[in-house]
Structure 1
């Protein structure tokens, strides 16, 4: 079964790299300036839709994976975890191919931690249920990726962006912080069932993803909620003794004119992948 899982991961890597290359042949929205970033995030959205919904449905249909996250799992759950391993490797390769190490180091650290934990489950056949719980984080990544695509398309003042921001914060609490908290608590309580190297590996992964998730939520809360304005234009009426005039005042552009570097830093992980987890 270990070889079968590795074959699935390899096939997944090939498919997602093919998507990266294939999207280069297709047009992107005219308002998008960074084509690579937009294409990378679009591929990440596809993975999040697949893995996030798959994990949610799988845990709903087979709750034994939560009761016994080490041993009890159906075969298809291991396949889904292997698909995610292939995606994260493909996304890491895509970032290294199109960005400098200084630009991508934080997400590469995130991907390395995730791949290390998920591939352990694929190879050993244990902790697949634990890995399935971790894939619930991709439900939040769906909202993250939609939000980032809107930012890259210069739609930060749209209703769709405001909805995606609130959806991102809500799912971050429900499907990112809660699963991370459950996994941390389970590892703390059941550490005697896990070998010391695996405890260390899982602990590093949880700390890495957890700290990035908290930082991510704070940045989105500040940028999208606390610094936002309800309307793009406000009419201010000035009255004088002779005349009454109305002047349109534009919304503060500092909250909307996010350059690609700011977009990247404000939405990791999975800018293209993390949150890109």
Structure 2
């Protein structure tokens, strides 16, 4: 089973690297032409999030034994989904190293390293696949994050679509990111006697890393998309700065040039 999982991982890596290459041949939308690499990278990430997130949700719905017994209870196709995800994270890491400096990419690279280490344990041992499938639910939130980023790159921040994407991001962050992370943390605490100490340390490190990034991300999106976008009356004598722009109704709104990112 381990050799089969490694084969799927290699095929997934090649497929996602090929997709990165293929998208280089396609023109980016005019609004995102100045940052074609980021547009291409996020499009590939969105595809992965939809594939693995929806797959994990359907899998856990059809085979709840994976949540009841996260160590041993899983069908063969679940391991394939985990291996596909590992291949993606490896391909995405290579893409970031090729197009960004280490200083720019170190945060996501650390995240990818933790996720690949945890998922690889499941692939090599054929255990903890159910635990990995629960963690793939986080990709449902990542899909909303990537859609929000694409709208930002397209300069659609003031639009209804962007506001809907922001609220969907916050809602799925609570439902499909914080809830699964809390469940996995509680399970690891209760079942630590069944899990080898090195894996407990690895799992705890992954949960703490992703949990801290998730909370930070949620706060940043809440501040940038919700709190700062609330209408404020014009202040007499106040001048627009580089960080603000004036809408048609005369209200000052903070510009959001960030492209917050978290890939799980």
TM-score of the pair, normalised by structure 2: 0.92
Asked if the contact 1:212–1:268 (Cα under 8 Å) also holds between the matched residues in 2, the reply is no
Query: Which has the higher Rg, Structure 1 or Structure 2?
Result: 1
Equivalent residues in 2 for 1:1-277 (5 A)? 1-32=1-32, 33-229=34-230, 248-252=248-252, 254-256=254-256, 258=257, 262-263=258-259, 267-269=260-262, 274=263, 277=264
Please list the CA deviations of residues 124-144 of structure 1 after superposition, one character each: whole Å capped at 9, or x if unmatched: 000000000000000001100
CA distance in 1, matches of 2:56, 2:250: 44
CA distance in 1, matches of 2:164, 2:16: 28
CA distance in 1, matches of 2:9, 2:154: 32
5+ unaligned residues in a row in structure 1: which ranges?
235-246
Deviation at 1:250, TM superposition (A): 4.3
Asked if the contact 1:52–1:139 (Cα under 8 Å) also holds between the matched residues in 2, the reply is yes
Runs of 4+ aligned structure 1 residues displaced above 2 Å come to 247-256
User: Compared with structure 1, are the counterparts of its residues 86 and 222 closer, same or farther at alpha carbon in structure 2 (3 Å cutoff)?
Assistant: same
CA distance in 1, matches of 2:8, 2:179: 29
CA distance in 2, matches of 1:114, 1:252: 41
CA distance in 1, matches of 2:191, 2:249: 59
TM-score of the pair, normalised by structure 1: 0.88
Deviation at 1:229, TM superposition (A): 3.8
CA distance in 2, matches of 1:91, 1:252: 37
